[in-house]
Structure 1
Amino acid sequence: MITNERIAAYINSLEMEQNDFLRKLEQEALADYVPIIKKPTQSLLRFLIHCHNPERILEVGTAVGFSSILMSQYLKKEAEIITIEKMPERIRRAKENIKLAQKEQVIKVLEGDAAVILQELGEKKEAFDFVFMDAAKGQYLNFLPDILKILKVGGILISDNVLQDGDIVESRYAVTRRNRTIHFRMREYLFELTHSEQFDTVVLPIGDGVTLSTKRM
């Protein structure tokens, strides 16, 4: 937890409850140790979708479909979500959950490696006005050039888990050896976003850390 735990608990107590389907899906995912977005990030996505009214959302990292189903609740009728996942078991569960949520006409799962699919989307000149990044943290920087190609000017990029439970501020030698590469790459990613002429970025210490980046050019 990045913020004071008592404050975070109070803020969470003010949030609206999810519907029964999402609440059950969230509980199942947590029980199975499947990472899903934290409640402050859920609220942030709801707020941003209401503010921006996106027509096309790209999600990088489907997991079991929780966040794409969540976002689909707040979209305009004609809007759509494209979500990318490469792990077969998660793809199976995501498709099953999307069907149970009756969101098959709104959410499309693209199966495969995000690096390949993002490049293909760029080659097809696909365009999105809202991108939610929640995949392998060490790959965020590698994905960024292709995301820049498909994100519309004025579009928004949301990147989750960027502060790594506060570990991002630690020396790389204070981080466990297996996490050092991710720690280094995430620091590179945050520097690139905050110093890029193509993005206007703010880093928010909510959930596990979130960046909001608007494409300027």
Structure 2
Amino acid sequence: MLHVAAAAEVMIVTATVPNGLNLKWDEADLRRKAYAQKHHIPIIQDEGLAFLEMVIRLIQPKRILEIGSAIGYSAIRMHQVCGSLVTTIERDPKMVSVAKEEIAQAGLSSQIRLVFKDALEAYSEVAEESYDLIFIDAAKAQYAKFFQIYTPLLKQGGVVVCDNMLFHGLLEENNEQQSRSLRGLVRKLSAFHQTLLEDERFQTSIFPIGDGMSVSVKTN
């Protein structure tokens, strides 16, 4: 159930996700999740994944662009929803190595394209296509730049989903209790919220699901 708490271009929405989450994992999924946990690799939370997969089922995207591959977990899951072609960008060589192996083991090397590059510099690598969905789950301090760089590749009516938009609740905490670097990161993420608010090309809602998920629909 969804409850709209504020009517604006950016809407903060209270959401209840069913306990079952409507998620199914095979052995490979569980292995990837265990690997991420063991090696302290941040991957999308279960509630966030359930929400993301619901969005994909609704819009049936033919092409998805992901900013931040990590070990390939979310790229594989996104493809499996409805067979979308996925292009995913990752800058960490260790993550690229693992993701490449996982994608190959899943038999999806022809369906998921892995770009080994900093997303701030990868536009030319992915600009030959347009996308129905962009999923941003990378360096939080760079969200505004990622949004600015890659949304020109989004089709009219396309959707941008961003993870970690509430950043473990830190956006609501007293800044004086945070380190200087953390305060800087929180300020940048808060500024990105404002960017979404002011961007007349999109209608955006932010859902307190997982670590916070935003959905921005390109309307202009």
Instruction: Report if TM-score (shorter chain) is over 0.5.
Output: yes
1:178 lines up with 2:181 in the alignment: yes
Q: Distance in 2 between matches of 1:86 and 1:202?
A: 29
Greater relative contact order (Cα < 8 A, sep 6+): 2
Q: What corresponds to 1:3 in structure 2?
A: none
Identity fraction in percent? 32
Q: What corresponds to 2:74 in structure 1?
A: 67
Q: Distance in 2 between matches of 1:85 and 1:208?
A: 21
Give 5+ residue unaligned stretches, structure 1.
1-7
Secondary structure class of the residue paired with 1:73: helix
Q: Distance in 1 between matches of 2:137 and 2:25?
A: 20
Q: What corresponds to 1:82 in structure 2?
A: 87
Q: CA deviation at 1:91?
A: 0.3
1:59-208 equivalence runs, <5 A: 59-76=66-83, 79-118=84-123, 120-122=125-127, 124=128, 126-208=129-211
2:207 maps to a residue whose letter is: L
Q: CA deviation at 1:112?
A: 0.6
Give 5+ residue unaligned stretches, structure 2.
1-14
Q: CA deviation at 1:14?
A: 4.8
1:127 maps to a residue whose letter is: S
2:99 maps to a residue whose letter is: A
Q: Distance in 1 between matches of 2:180 and 2:101?
A: 37
**TM-score of the aligned structures, taking structure 1 as reference length:** 0.89
Aligned-residue RMSD, C-alpha: 1.9
1:35-50 equivalence runs, <5 A: 35-50=42-57
Q: Distance in 2 between matches of 1:204 and 1:118?
A: 28
Say if 1:146 and 1:14 are closer, same or farther in 2 by CA, change over 3 A: closer
**Segments ≥4 residues shifted beyond 2 Å:** 10-17, 118-122, 170-178
Q: Distance in 2 between matches of 1:195 and 1:214?
A: 14
Q: CA deviation at 1:49?
A: 1.1
The answer on whether the counterparts of 1:133 and 1:158 sit within 8 Å (CA) in structure 2 is yes
The answer on whether the counterparts of 1:129 and 1:152 sit within 8 Å (CA) in structure 2 is yes
The answer on whether the counterparts of 2:21 and 2:50 sit within 8 Å (CA) in structure 1 is no
Say if 1:192 and 1:22 are closer, same or farther in 2 by CA, change over 3 A: same
Q: CA deviation at 1:13?
A: 4.1
Q: Which is richer in helix?
A: 1
1:16 maps to a residue whose letter is: L
The answer on whether the counterparts of 1:12 and 1:40 sit within 8 Å (CA) in structure 2 is no
Q: Distance in 2 between matches of 1:138 and 1:22?
A: 29
Q: CA deviation at 1:30?
A: 0.9
Q: CA deviation at 1:101?
A: 1.1
Q: CA deviation at 1:118?
A: 2.4
